[in-house]
Amino acid sequence: KAGVTQTPRYLIKTRGQQVTLSCSPISGHRSVSWYQQTPGQGLQFLFEYFSETQRNKGNFPGRFSGRQFSNSRSEMNVSTLELGDSALYLCASLDSGTDTQYFGPGTRLTVL
């Protein structure tokens, strides 16, 4: 099976812009979670989607949003970008049979 894929792999944006990141889970996985990784805060949970519904949400401002499509692919959107949003954004899909989370390679977002 193909692994979790994320596009694009790298993004450079300027403050105030918005950005959309995409994640395709492993085939058959219906849960997709998003995480932000920064040197200062480590890995922090953003949100989880299951069957097109947000099932869980972390402590991030409303500028961070997401959605999931019927084929389980997920997108996350960050509006009004700030310098502090520069990070590696990771998505993970859940194998509900083994409870194992599988991560994609991440999208490196740089905000100038």
Partner 1 sequence: KQEVTQIPAALSVPEGENLVLNCSFTDSAIYNLQWFRQDPGKGLTSLLLIQSSQREQTSGRLNASLDKSSGRSTLYIAASQPGDSATYLCASRGATNKLIFGTGTLLAVQP
Binding residues (CB under 8 A) for partner 1: these are: 4, 6, 33, 35, 42-45, 48, 55-56, 58, 88, 90, 92, 98-106, 108
Q: With beta carbons less than 8 A apart as the criterion, state whether 107 and 34 touch.
A: no
Q: Count of CB atoms within 10 A of residue 107's CB? A: 21
Which residue's CB is nearer to partner 1, number 39 or number 62?
Answer: 39
- Of residues 20, 2, 7, the one with CA closest to residue 105: 7
Min dist CB 20 to partner 1, Å, is 19
Min dist CB 39 to partner 1, Å, is 10
